[in-house]
Chains A and B, each alone.
Chain A
Amino acid sequence: MGRTSRTTDPDGAPYRWELFATTTAGVVENELDRCLAERCTTQYEYDMLISRVEARLERASQGGLGGSDDEPSPDPVVSQPALWETRWSFKKRRELRLYHGEPLSVPDLLFGLKYHWKRLDGLSADEIESAQNAEMAEAATRYRASSCYSSADEQPHPN
């Protein structure tokens, strides 16, 4: 069993979101904009989808993504370093994903690393998994390049 995500732990809330950025660009913020621009057809649709993203991030920051005491909190989708996934399912089979880290050295931080659309159409299960793994690898690379990251975040079972 891996670490429990802060997004499912209301006892430690509120948490704060920060998004991966370089000194010159809001990388993850721009990534979300690009994702939505790619799949939205109207300004109203864009406004609705980006608002649904924001509202879910707010819920996550309150530790509200677990909800059920019948089931254990989901394990990290990547264990070294530990990364978790937040999901959105929109109409027209649009599945948005955000990978984030929870640095052990910053107990209230949810660090957004990578947005992407889960690719579904025209791909085999293996190809879908391969594409998703590539996105996770990019998220891990960004995490390791960040100042909030420490080698302790490589440990899958720090508890």
Chain B
Amino acid sequence: MRTRKFVNDPTSPSRRRALALARVAEQLHAKLLKARQLQRMTQKQVAELLGVKQPTVAAFERYDNDPKMSSIISYAHAVGATISMSVTLDGVEVDLGWTPIAQATVPFTRSHIAESRPTAAPHRLAMPMAAER
């Protein structure tokens, strides 16, 4: 009988945490694709906004893609989506002790996002960005 090199225990804390994280990754990717479809955008339109070719967007959307964070946020921005996240330890949110200023003052609504597409005037934050000061 073969001796197992690793413990295959779906109930272990490590395993349950790993599955929760893996689900987040799958759902984040699937939701971003869904967001593009809900916005009735084509891959070509997204590619034009990002300054890349359509096959690059198609590659991003393949389920077996393992995208970098920078690609995720660029794609989200192009399809008019925002991403919220929560980092917890034992169910308690990790507190940085600070909050981004814009997050505290500007609600990103769906209509707001639609207006902020490149064809519309740039959105003005309640608090000017550093370059505008």
Contacts and interface: CB of A to CB of B under 8 A. Distances in A.
Interface of A: 33, 36-37, 40, 43-44, 46-48, 50-52, 54-56, 58-59, 64-71, 87-90
Given A48-B21, A55-B19, A67-B30, 14 more contacts: A36-B6, A37-B4, A37-B5, A40-B5, A47-B6, A47-B12, A51-B19, A52-B18, A52-B22, A54-B22, A55-B22, A67-B33, A87-B64, A90-B66
A70 B40 CA distance: 11
Contacts of B34: 67
Given A64-B63, A70-B42, A70-B43, A40 B6 contact: yes
Q: Give the interface size class of chain B.
A: 20 to 34
A90 B12 CA distance: 22
Main secondary structure of the interface of A (DSSP, over half): helix
Contact of A68 (B4, B18, B61, B64): B61
Interface of B: 4-8, 12, 14-15, 17-19, 21-23, 25-27, 30, 33-34, 37, 42-43, 58, 61, 63-66
